[in-house]
Structure 1
Amino acid sequence: MRRLGIAGFGLMIPRVTPLLDGVGPGQLAYWLGTLWFLGLAAAIWHGNRWLLFEQRRHYGWFNHPLRKLSLLLAAIVLYTAPITVVALLAWYGWIGAVADADAIRTVALINVICVVFVTHAYETVFLIKEREGDLLRVARLDRARAEAELSGFLAQVDPHFLFNSLNTLGHLIKTDSRRAVAFNQDLAGIYRYLLRQRGRSLVTLAEELRFARAYLELMQIRYGEALRCELPKPMQAGARLPPTALQLLIENAIKHNEVGAGAPLEIEVGYAELEGAPCMFVANRRRPRRSVRESAGTGLRNLDERSKLAVGRGIQIDQRGEEFRVCVPLAMAAQECAS
């Protein structure tokens, strides 16, 4: 569109106006003038295009429609008209002709009208693409959320997990009814939290830490001193992250590493920075289980996609040395609209 538009305007406008009157194709000035007007068309197109893109960075049609429209029209007129007048005066001076004021006014008006038309086309295409991008983003977020809900729920009702939990609960009922009640309450809390977060892409850090604490209490009833993990306090009220993010990472560490009384599994949870922005990390020393089933990595991939869509940044996985660390970016107060 840009190449055709510059060539079309640069060749057409001088030929439908008196700019080339008295200059024929047999003269060098005719061809030099053609190049001059093509250059003028390119300068007008690219200059207005740059002004248009700069305005997009500061003003939107939905936030400041009147201000954007007035500034856009002002930029078009105040840039296009002066550069046209200067270029035409230079042209008349070069060919040694008297400047035709009517021709200059006509060409300046035509150029302004053409730029308004092209700008309208640019903005129409831009808004259509932006709308398509928004629809695609919403569709991807809905898909990721649905997959997260399903995978999170199925992870808890996995037969192996449920079998071990019920066996532990049955054993505690016979041997320690007090701990059995606590185990049952934590197990119910896990299901309650999963059901309550349906349809949400972000939850407060305080909510997620409470859920992770309930999950840890459940696991510590099962593993005892073989599992050690301390959770930090919420850093501030505005911090948010995808639901079940911390629980998934803690579960991932327990699932893939040896957990034994002789060598307890220590999981570290804390705050850090990821690309200059706040995040939470979950880290542990790598002690791979010998009998663990090979993982497809679906949980981490799903969390990465949910984080990109809801927060704007994906997770970071660091496997250097003996430590396995995953950082989850936090959405702060300015990003709450994503939830």
Structure 2
Amino acid sequence: MATYGLPQNRFLSILKWLLLFALLAGTQVMLVCSSCYTDMGKAWQNFLYSFSLFSMLWLGNGYVSNNLNIFVSWTESPWKRFLLTLLTVLVYSAIVVFFINWFWYVLLPKRDFSYMGTPKVRYTMLTQMLVTYIITMTVHAIAFLRGWREAAVNAERLQKEHALSKYEALKNQVNPHFLFNSLNALTSLVHPEPDLAVKFIKQLSEVYRYVLDSQRKEVVPLEEELNFTQRYAFLQQIRLAEGLQVKLPTDVPEELQIPPLALQMLLENAVKHNRAWAKEPLKVTVSIEDDYLVVQNNYQPKPQHEPPSGLGLANIEARYEMLTNKKMQVLPSEGTFTVRLPLLTFQ
């Protein structure tokens, strides 16, 4: 978030700011220097003095302040940023005010350096520092309020996206087609394999429990999401047998987190849109690469299936936009379909 408005690398933008500083300098000369109306040399000298003061104070403080956003954010550490801003503005403004006044009052007129200690120069520099501080703190207060409002808007957007995620997740899970397939698979297990049927029921109940519990969360530990995905994959493998092969990572660091049901949505999409036959198994591989969770499956689209709605990927992407600056990556190719989910860490 930029605190100061600054010229862009375009001619018209630079010209606009130069004209603004010239207008401010001209106004300063007309208001303060009454003798400048009759003495053009003095008027021109006062104009250049004011122009250099306005431009260097505004542009310098602007670039310094905007670059502070790289190290300390207003929204994350407001008090630390406020104190750092006070210090940098004080040091930079003092240096600029001193050297500009030294240049115009001592160097050009060829006066002795002791002239800098006269009441006139000291009062001028003190007034300039005070005005600069008032303007700078006003600009930063506006920037802080703007950032706070932006954070509030983003929080509201995140809440809406999370609500949409809960709706989509429940709709996908409590889907009549999914329930029909699950119960049909369960029916085929009851008599020939009662032990497997009991395990199936247990896994199914754990799946629904996780879906209900995750509704209240924006992120969950990656290990929990992988355990849930393993249960979900088990249910699908009972129905698809050797047609579905899922490989999940082990030894996952505890600090890694992910939006809930994001991985399940990707697995559901893969099963929904690709053939999963014994002769042509659908192979889904989940791995951790750098700071991403990489989900890849072989691309073998079904001959006939309902067109993709795109809601699953769009929803995951929207939730990530609220949580991090890192982007979800969708990388389709001729033989594979890959999605890279940023892994999150929070203090």
**TM-score range, shorter-chain basis?**
0.7 to 0.9
- Counterparts of 1:249-328 in structure 2 under 5 Å? 249-273=266-290, 278-328=291-341
Higher deviation after alignment, 308-317 or 209-218: 308-317
Normalising by structure 2, we get a TM-score of: 0.84
CA distance in 2, matches of 1:54, 1:319: 37
CA distance in 2, matches of 1:330, 1:85: 53
What is the CA RMSD across the aligned residues, in angstroms?
Answer: 2.8
Matched, 1:153 2:170: yes
CA distance in 2, matches of 1:161, 1:45: 63
Higher deviation after alignment, 323-332 or 264-273: 264-273
Uncovered stretches (5+) of structure 1, i.e. residues with no partner = none
Q: Give the Å deviation of 1:51.
A: 3.1
Counterpart of 2:253 (choices 230, 236, 243) is 236
Per-residue deviation, residues 242-286 of structure 1 (Å, max 9, x unmatched): 11122111111111001112221111111224xxxx111111111
Report the equivalent of 1:45: 58
CA distance in 1, matches of 2:100, 2:155: 45
Counterpart of 1:86 (choices 60, 82, 102) is 102
- Counterparts of 1:58-207 in structure 2 under 5 Å? 58-59=71-72, 62-64=78-80, 67-68=83-84, 70-72=86-88, 74-75=90-91, 77-89=93-105, 93=109, 101-207=118-224
SS at match of 2:109: helix
Aligned length: 326
SS at match of 1:308: helix
CA distance in 2, matches of 1:71, 1:313: 32
| Paired letter, 2:278 | A
Higher deviation after alignment, 302-311 or 73-82: 73-82
CA distance in 1, matches of 2:109, 2:50: 14
Instruction: Give the conservation status (yes or no) of the 8 Å contact 2:61–2:93.
Output: no
SS at match of 2:301: coil
Instruction: Give the conservation status (yes or no) of the 8 Å contact 1:281–1:325.
Output: yes
SS at match of 2:78: coil
| Paired letter, 2:139 | Y
Report the equivalent of 2:25: 10
Instruction: Give the conservation status (yes or no) of the 8 Å contact 1:80–1:112.
Output: no
Higher deviation after alignment, 227-236 or 246-255: 227-236
Report the equivalent of 1:226: 243
CA distance in 2, matches of 1:220, 1:292: 20
| Paired letter, 1:230 | K
Q: Give the Å deviation of 1:220.
A: 0.9
| Paired letter, 1:283 | Q
Instruction: Give the conservation status (yes or no) of the 8 Å contact 2:248–2:286.
Output: yes
Q: Give the Å deviation of 1:41.
A: 1.6
Instruction: Give the conservation status (yes or no) of the 8 Å contact 1:51–1:75.
Output: no
SS at match of 1:290: coil
| Paired letter, 1:196 | D
Per-residue deviation, residues 107-148 of structure 1 (Å, max 9, x unmatched): 212211211111121111111111111111111111111111
| Paired letter, 1:282 | V
CA distance in 2, matches of 1:90, 1:143: 63
CA distance in 1, matches of 2:326, 2:154: 14
CA distance in 2, matches of 1:169, 1:6: 78
Per-residue deviation, residues 134-186 of structure 1 (Å, max 9, x unmatched): 11111111111111111011101111111121122122223322221111111
Higher deviation after alignment, 108-117 or 187-196: 108-117
Tell me: CA distance 1:29–1:62, structure 2 relative to 1, closer, same or farther (3 Å). closer
Q: Give the Å deviation of 1:231.
A: 1.2
Report the equivalent of 1:329: 342
CA distance in 2, matches of 1:300, 1:240: 18
Q: Give the Å deviation of 1:317.
A: 0.8
CA distance in 2, matches of 1:270, 1:58: 32
SS at match of 2:275: coil
CA distance in 2, matches of 1:326, 1:66: 40
Percent identity, aligned pairs only?
25
CA distance in 1, matches of 2:31, 2:125: 13
CA distance in 1, matches of 2:125, 2:62: 18
